[in-house]
Amino acid sequence: ENVRVIQFDFLQVEEVDSVGLSVLVALHNSLSSSGEAFSLTIINVSKECAGILRLIHLDTFYTISVNET
């Protein structure tokens, strides 16, 4: 079975607003309803952004990799 892999690199992202969060949620919802197998990852996330993503429980849908630098 093929798995669609989608990865976002947040290296240059300093903050995420409600529109950005909505896009991430909408992508997950769209892929879920398609019936396809998928994997969603966000890499190089700042500690601040990771906190927001976890606060709204996006870490249940996305693998989040924090940039420690």
User: pLDDT tens for residues 10-62?
Assistant: 999 999 999 999 999 999 999 999 999 999 999 999 999 999 999 999 999 99
Reading across the β-sheet that carries 63-66, which strands appear in turn? 3-9, 37-45, 63-66
pTM for this predicted structure: 0.91
User: Can you give the pLDDT at residue 41?
Assistant: 98
Helix residue spans in the chain (DSSP H): 18-34, 47-55
Instruction: Sort 2 into a burial class: Cβ within 10 Å, 0-12 / 13-18 / 19+.
Output: exposed
